[in-house]
Amino acid sequence: MQMRLKNTFLILLKLAVIVGLIVYLPTKVSGSNAQVINAINNEQNNPTTPVATNPTNTSFVPTKDKKIHIYNTHQGEEYDGFNVVEGANYLKDCLNNKGYQCDVEGNDFEGYKAVHKIAYNKSYTVSKMYLEESLKLSGGYDLIIDFHRDSISKELSTISHDGKSYAKIMFVVGKSSGKFDAVNQLSQKLSDLANATVPKISRGVYVKKSHYNQGISDNMVLIEVGAQSNTKEEVQATVEIIAKAIGEYLG
């Protein structure tokens, strides 16, 4: 009888361990090495500010003194066979090729929200925590990009130029950020530079009654790159135009 009770106890103990592992198992964002466990561990030590991890290519040697940070408030946004996290990393590669020091936020925002039961409409609260930590660690950036995609038809999100198909872009500026003038001016400048290379690739600057965390820095833009039906090739072609515009702006 005692042996049976002991075996039953051991089985229940193993089941409890397995359930615990499933509940707290870290998840990954496609295209990055980020894990939810980073955010969970840090919140236990500091309930308000998760740790920011920004993987960089340690073999890369920048030739320019400008620093750029890219992140995706809505990391779950996808294209046709591609996603915004992969798009952000491709933009990083393009900017690295131009000599700029650039990093992409590596933490899993979507996993963090799921584990902590944070609603989708609080996404900017989550991305703000990581962004503020990145700013502390880096000492600041010359340009900060929140990389998104829109939700419109393929006809509206695509343009052809010289036989090549591109995903259109749009800059979104929050009217209530407290830094509206600076962010709006920067967004308009980058929009104009992109259009100078591929006419009408930018749909312009869209002003909304929100903040989008743009009160954190004058050097910050939110870019909608294409929409759900755009392909990897179209998005990457556009990202190259964005990188060119950034290079012309930063010098």
Strands 158-161 and 164-167: antiparallel
* Beta carbons within 8 Å of 243's beta carbon, 6+ residues apart: 91, 94, 95, 97, 98
Say if residue 231's pLDDT is above 90.
yes
Span 175-185, average pLDDT? 96
The pLDDT, as a whole number, for residue 215 is 95
The pLDDT, as a whole number, for residue 219 is 97
Asked if residue 192 belongs to a domain, the reply is yes
Among 19-23, 79-83, 85-89, the minimum mean pLDDT is found in 19-23
* Confidence tier at 61 by pLDDT (50, 70, 90): confident
Asked if residue 71 belongs to a domain, the reply is yes
Asked if residue 18 belongs to a domain, the reply is no
The pLDDT, as a whole number, for residue 66 is 96
Span 19-39, average pLDDT? 37
Among 6-20, 174-188, 225-239, the minimum mean pLDDT is found in 6-20
Asked if residue 13 belongs to a domain, the reply is no
Span 211-216, average pLDDT? 96
Closest to 85 (Cα-Cα) out of 133, 137, 159, 27: 27
The pLDDT, as a whole number, for residue 62 is 82
Say if residue 78's pLDDT is above 50.
yes
Asked if residue 205 belongs to a domain, the reply is yes
Taking the C-alpha atoms of residue 110 and residue 88, their distance in angstroms, rounded to an integer, is 16
Taking the C-alpha atoms of residue 188 and residue 58, their distance in angstroms, rounded to an integer, is 33
Say if residue 180's pLDDT is above 80.
yes
Q: Total domain count for the chain?
A: 1
Taking the C-alpha atoms of residue 153 and residue 114, their distance in angstroms, rounded to an integer, is 29
Taking the C-alpha atoms of residue 111 and residue 237, their distance in angstroms, rounded to an integer, is 29
> Domain limits at 119?
67-250
Q: Radius of gyration over alpha carbons of the chain, in Å?
A: 21
What pTM does this model have? 0.79
The pLDDT, as a whole number, for residue 2 is 46
* CATH number of the domain enclosing 181: 3.40.630.40
- First-to-last CA distance in the chain? 80
List pLDDT tens digits, range 140-169. Answer: 999 999 999 999 999 999 999 999 999 999
Which range among 5-9, 17-21, 220-224 has the greatest average pLDDT?
Answer: 220-224
Say if residue 55's pLDDT is above 60.
no
Closest to 92 (Cα-Cα) out of 56, 120, 61, 125: 56
